[in-house]
Structure 1
Amino acid sequence: MGLITEFKEFISRGNVVDLAVGVVIGAAFGKIVTALVDGIVMPAIGAFTKGVSVSDWKYVIKPAQLDSAGKEVATELAIRYGMFVQTIIDFLLIALVIFLILKAYNRVRAPAAAAAIPEEVLLLREIRDELKNKPGP
């Protein structure tokens, strides 16, 4: 029975639940940014590349070989770097959006600057402290 009790204590800790919520929200947020990249950013980049999708970028080392009937005999040998470039763009956009959200959150969460203490109050405190430190008559 001790294992079940320990497991309940582990699960009931606030940081475990917070972590689970963070992972779920992070996964959903990743889908939103991926949709942004796939639906808006990449088509804009595609306009500059004359309609070629970034994920299709590749360096062909050896082209596919076809027989006389047009059937592929040997597959193409290529370095497909486009998907890597697209993943880097996804990562950078996700990192940028998270940075901006955290920056805004920290700005809202930051404590308000302490109100300035009037000079009269500071002088009265100094006088009080001096009177405390003076030896008695």
Structure 2
Amino acid sequence: MKLFKEFKDFAVKGNMMDMAIGIIIGAAFNKVIDVLVKQVMLPPLSLLSGNMDIQDMRIVLKNAIVAEDGTVTKEEVAIGYGALIEAAVDFFIIGFTIFVVVKFMNRLIKKAEDTKDKTVTTPKNIELLSKLSDLMEEQNELLKSKV
């Protein structure tokens, strides 16, 4: 019963909802990046490589063995480095996009936490901490002047 109560507390606090929203947005973001890489970025790269599909690039270690009737009796053995290139392009695009989003969010957070900037409303907790800091500095000055 305690386990159920802990799960209910976890779900009610919003952690589970935040996580679910993040996973859903991440899946949608993955689709966008996949299309961006496969449909926008890789076609020009394949033109540079002589109209070869980058994902099909490989080093053949052993050719396939084909029977007289045309059926493949043994598959070829190959190192598919083209798929690795495509995955690396995906990774760098996703990494750069996340970097830009985090940088933008940090800028907004920093601007919101700046107590001297009056164009943005400062959150109450930052405002109270700033007032507390000012009061402590004032108290220290008073104590220094008495010594």
Bucket of the pairwise TM-score, normalised by the shorter protein: 0.7 to 0.9
Match for residue 86 of structure 2?
Answer: 86
Residue matched to 2:77: 77
Q: For residues 84 and 18 of structure 1, what CA distance do their matches in structure 2 show?
A: 32
The percent identity for this pair of structures is 34
Say whether residues 1:20 and 2:20 are aligned partners. yes
Work out the CA distance in 2 between the residues paired with 1:90 and 1:82.
12
Identify the residue that residue 101 of structure 2 maps to in structure 1. Answer: 101
1:2–1:70 Cα change, 3 Å: closer
Q: Which residue number in structure 2 is paired with residue 66 of structure 1?
A: 66
Tell me the SS of whatever aligns to 1:92.
Answer: helix
The amino acid across from 2:71 in the alignment is: K
Closer, same or farther in 2 for the Cα pair 1:9/1:134, shift >3 Å?
Answer: closer
Equivalence for 1:119: none
Q: Distance in 2 between matches of 1:133 and 1:49?
A: 77
- The alignment of Structure 1 onto Structure 2 pairs a total of residues equal to 124
Alignment match, 1:114? 116
Which one scores higher on RCO, CA 8 angstroms, separation ≥ 6?
A: 1
> Partners in 2 of 1:114 and 1:76 — Cα distance?
68
Counterpart-to-counterpart distance in 1, 2:7 and 2:108:
36
3-state DSSP of counterpart to 1:55: helix
Q: CA RMSD in A?
A: 2.7
Distance change in 2, residues 1:133/1:71 (3 Å): closer
Question: 1:134 offset after TM fit, Å?
Answer: 5.4
Instruction: Check 1:8–1:51 CA distance in 2 against 1; reply closer, same or farther (3 A cut).
Output: same
- Aligned-pair distance for 1:106? 1.5
Q: SS of the residue aligned with 1:43?
A: helix
SS in 1 for 2:15: helix
Residues 53-109 of structure 1: per-residue CA shift (max 9 Å, x gap): 111010001111233444333221111121122111101100101101111122122
Give 2:125's aligned residue. Answer: none
Deviation at 1:7, TM superposition (A): 2.2
For residue 52 of structure 2, give the secondary structure of its aligned residue in structure 1: coil
- TM-score, length-scaled by structure 1: 0.75
Larger radius of gyration: 1
Q: Distance in 2 between matches of 1:7 and 1:66?
A: 58
Q: Who is 1:122 aligned against?
A: none
Aligned-partner Cα distance in 2 for 1:69–1:134: 104
**Which ranges of structure 2 fall in alignment gaps of 5 or more residues?**
118-137
Q: Tell me the SS of whatever aligns to 1:50.
A: coil
